[in-house]
Amino acid sequence: MTTTHDQASTDAPTKYADASTERIKAANGVEYAYRDLGESEVPLVLLQHFRGNLDNWDPALVDALASKRRVITFDNVGVAATAGATPNTIEAMARGAIDFLEANDLARVDLLGFSIGSFVAQEIALIRPDLGRRVVLASSAPQGAAGMHGWAPDVIGAVGQPETSPQAYLGVFFAPTDTSRAAGQQVMGRVFGRAANRDEPTTWQTRQAQYDAVCAWGVPNHSMLERVAAIDVPVFVANGDSDPMILPRYSHLLAGLLPDARLTIYPDSAHGFLFQHHSQFATDVHAFLAEAV
């Protein structure tokens, strides 16, 4: 089953805050929830962070990206409004994402993975090297990096509890400065401001499965670090300078292991740097995606 994407007939570009949630059933039997806006020959597919759903993307970032690109956000298997149970390995998540792309007849895409989504993006690029044209890895780390086996107690205490809070979100996603926290308040107003047609919340099963996948990804294994050298497409690695969840040093490590990578660390920001610096980050992503081959 496939759906068509035709935004050219509308009078004005759709904003992410107003984008409708569409559904498509893949060959694996799973019905996926997704949103689709903007126009370009090669779409940019976004892969979401730990416990995140369609509504957890900052509309300001998605709109900035969609100003020049077709942008697709989706809930992977078992996440929020997508059917099934969330798998507990990054590889299975990557295969679920590939099934979604195939259901939409997408044979060539650019990928933007954020946090756990960046792990999935790496795995997609390894499983299907002909699928990803270019890859953006935000707040990322390579598989097997020492010190990545689980998160620090204060981080998992903030984002891993059954009920999280705005203050916990601020503490992980934004740096402990007045400027970053003020930006964080603005981001929360945008992220949680959608009133109609909201996505389903993620479940505790999703939380447990995703954290199992994160921990397995982070078991120290130097031989696993060599895998990313097989990703020979251009990659843009980015992070905030104060990210407590995936430390900036892992971005430097990852960029050094990749054959064709460029790295940017954004100042006065943390895990949510791409939301805080949404305008600059989108500009940088556009420039990266438009680079001559």
> Helical H runs in the chain?
59-66, 90-103, 116-127, 153-159, 166-173, 178-191, 204-217, 222-225, 248-257, 273-276, 278-289
Q: Domains (ranges, CATH) in the chain?
A: 16-289 (3.40.50.1820)
Answer for the pair 225, 125: CB distance below 8 angstroms, yes or no.
no
What's the token pair of residue 75? Answer: 């809930």
Q: What is the pLDDT of residues 235-261, one digit of tens each?
A: 999 999 999 999 999 999 999 999 999
pLDDT in the model for residue 194: 85
What's the token pair of residue 51? Answer: 């416990």
Name the stretches of the chain with pLDDT < 50. Answer: 1-10
Answer for the pair 125, 233: CB distance below 8 angstroms, yes or no.
yes
pLDDT in the model for residue 293: 66
Please state, in angstroms and as integers, the Cα–Cα distance from residue 9 to each residue in 13, 39, 69, 72, following that order.
10, 12, 16, 18
Non-local (6+) Cβ contacts of 182 within 8 A are: none
Non-local (6+) Cβ contacts of 75 within 8 A are: 32, 33, 34, 48, 53, 54, 81, 82, 199
> Helical H runs in 30-115?
59-66, 90-103
pLDDT in the model for residue 9: 40
pLDDT in the model for residue 161: 87
pLDDT in the model for residue 10: 45
Answer for the pair 92, 102: CB distance below 8 angstroms, yes or no.
no
pLDDT in the model for residue 11: 56
